[in-house]
């Protein structure tokens, strides 16, 4: 593999994408295509969040105009504003492919989210989703303990480092209560989460389809807590964890297991919102060079042959994206070519710093 300089990746899929609205949307949406992503699964955390058919259709139309060749898969934002009837209607009209669940207050624009201690009020919606094959996308973190309410019992403490691990019992319960519901644990960051996904999949019969999967970002394959300590460009939620967690993520992504696939969680913020004394916005923008970042990690462990599965086949298969559902059938190849990541994307007041700004990467993606 080391000697190869070109690899075929097929129809590439990024199963977790933030494209925002307004000027930021106009700047960032074209970078899905320039980054050689064929299929993009779009997050609904606009302000206000997407909870109506009209809004999701309108947003889809705006994105499609900005990037005509991209297959955009759309989502609702799980909140009290959704009803089972609305979700069924949206499923039948095929305007959404899934619903994103944010615990209230854990990341950018998640104020309208849900209480992860009790999903039961959403069970009627999950019933409809399971029936129609809609995917439930989980931001798998428990909200942090308030400093003023810390108990003496360490087990009760929830902080940015254990928030994902503490969420996993809720994932197991959801899967037990809705065994046929397709669930993705999004942007997972811990060995605990990887182990949970492996366990759920090993516990099912080989003949049963994968219903619980995890997406993994490009940046979490590279970062640890040391990377964002003092580097707001690398600060995101969930935060990157310990070296052992990064090792588990790389092992999972390169394992060839169909229940691990790529979702960049590319989340652009203006540089001005990333360079503050307090309240730095959480999010790493990686869209423009997402495949380069991932390829670099796979190359480092000599497993580039597993890359196509991770950035194409596994995601498309889980989401059941057959060829007839694609806006364009264009495919992508990865080329070995030293390329410098720009310092910023955009100009004037609206500039976004990409992941690894100014660094040199060894591989770039190109449309065939």
**Contact present, 49 and 82 (Cβ < 8 Å):** no
Which of 161, 198, 327, 335 is the binder for a copy of itself (CB under 8 A)? 161
| Per-residue mark of binding to a copy of itself, 251-290 (x: CB under 8 A) | --------------------x--xxxxxxxxx--------
Tokens of 284: 């790493």
Tokens of 71: 């297959």
Tell the residue number behind the tokens 């609205």, with chain if given.
21
d(C-alpha 359, C-alpha 155), whole Å: 41
Tokens of 266: 């590319």
| Per-residue mark of binding to a copy of itself, 210-249 (x: CB under 8 A) | ------------x-xxxxxxxxxx-x---x--xxx-xx--
Residue count at the site for a copy of itself (CB under 8 A)?
A: 40
Which secondary-structure segment (H or E) carries 307? helix 307-308
d(C-alpha 111, C-alpha 48), whole Å: 10
Q: How far is the CB of 25 from a copy of itself (least distance, A)?
A: 22
Q: How far is the CB of 147 from a copy of itself (least distance, A)?
A: 7
d(C-alpha 124, C-alpha 116), whole Å: 16
Of 289, 318, 294, the closest CA to residue 308 belongs to 294
Q: How far is the CB of 86 from a copy of itself (least distance, A)?
A: 34
Q: How far is the CB of 294 from a copy of itself (least distance, A)?
A: 16
Positions in 120-159 near a copy of itself (CB under 8 A): 144-145, 147, 150, 152, 154, 157, 159
Q: How far is the CB of 357 from a copy of itself (least distance, A)?
A: 7
Positions in 16-55 near a copy of itself (CB under 8 A): none
Quick check: helix, strand or coil at residue 35?
coil
**Backbone CA torsion sign across 215, 220, 225, 228:** negative
104 touching a copy of itself, by CB under 8 A: no
- CA–CA–CA angle 30, 32, 34 (5° rounding): 70
297 touching a copy of itself, by CB under 8 A: no
Positions in 345-364 near a copy of itself (CB under 8 A): 353, 357
Judged by beta carbon, residue 276 or residue 329, the one nearer a copy of itself is 276
160 touching a copy of itself, by CB under 8 A: yes
Judged by beta carbon, residue 274 or residue 289, the one nearer a copy of itself is 274
Judged by beta carbon, residue 235 or residue 318, the one nearer a copy of itself is 235
Question: What is the DSSP code string of 152-205?
Answer: S-GGG---TTTHHHHHHHHHHHHHHH-TTSEEEETT--SHHHHHHHHHHHHHS-
Task: Give the total residue count for the chain.
Answer: 368
- Provide the binding-site residues for a copy of itself, judged by CB under 8 A: 144-145, 147, 150, 152, 154, 157, 159-161, 222, 224-233, 235, 239, 242-244, 246-247, 271, 274-282, 353, 357
């Amino acid at each position: 593999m080391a000697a190869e300089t070109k690899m075929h990746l097929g129809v590439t899929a990024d199963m977790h994408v933030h494209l925002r609205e307004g000027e930021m949307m106009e700047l960032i949406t074209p970078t899905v295509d320039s980054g050689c992503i064929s299929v993009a699964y779009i997050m609904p955390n606009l302000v206000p969040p997407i909870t109506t058919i009209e809004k999701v259709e309108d947003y889809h139309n705006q994105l499609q105009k900005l990037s005509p060749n991209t297959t955009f898969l759309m989502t609702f934002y799980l909140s009290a504003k959704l009803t089972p009837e609305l979700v069924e209607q949206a499923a039948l009209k095929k305007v959404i492919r899934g619903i994103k669940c944010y615990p209230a207050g854990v990341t950018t624009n998640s104020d309208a989210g849900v209480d992860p201690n009790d999903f039961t009020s959403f069970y009627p919606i999950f019933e409809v989703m399971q029936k129609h094959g809609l995917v439930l996308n989980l931001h798998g973190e428990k909200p942090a303990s308030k400093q003023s309410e810390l108990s003496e019992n360490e087990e009760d403490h929830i902080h940015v480092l254990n928030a994902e691990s503490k969420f996993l019992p809720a994932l197991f319960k959801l899967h037990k209560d809705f065994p046929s519901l397709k669930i993705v644990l999004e942007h997972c960051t811990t060995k605990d989460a990887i182990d949970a996904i492996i366990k759920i999949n090993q516990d099912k019969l080989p003949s049963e389809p994968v219903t619980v999967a995890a997406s993994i970002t490009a940046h979490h394959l590279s970062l640890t807590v040391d990377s964002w300590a003092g580097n707001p460009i690398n600060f995101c939620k969930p935060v990157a964890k310990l070296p052992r967690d990064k090792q588990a993520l790389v092992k999972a992504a390169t394992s060839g297991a169909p229940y691990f696939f790529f979702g960049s969680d590319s989340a652009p913020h203006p540089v001005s919102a990333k360079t503050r004394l307090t309240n730095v916005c959480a999010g790493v923008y990686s869209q423009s060079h997402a495949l380069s970042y991932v390829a670099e990690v796979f190359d480092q462990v000599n497993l580039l042959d597993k890359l196509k599965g991770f950035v194409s086949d596994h995601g498309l298969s889980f989401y059941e994206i057959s060829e007839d559902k694609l806006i364009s059938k264009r495919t992508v190849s990865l080329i070995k070519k030293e390329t410098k990541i720009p310092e910023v994307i955009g100009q004037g007041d609206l500039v976004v710093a990409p992941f690894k700004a100014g660094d040199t990467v060894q591989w770039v993606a190109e449309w065939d």
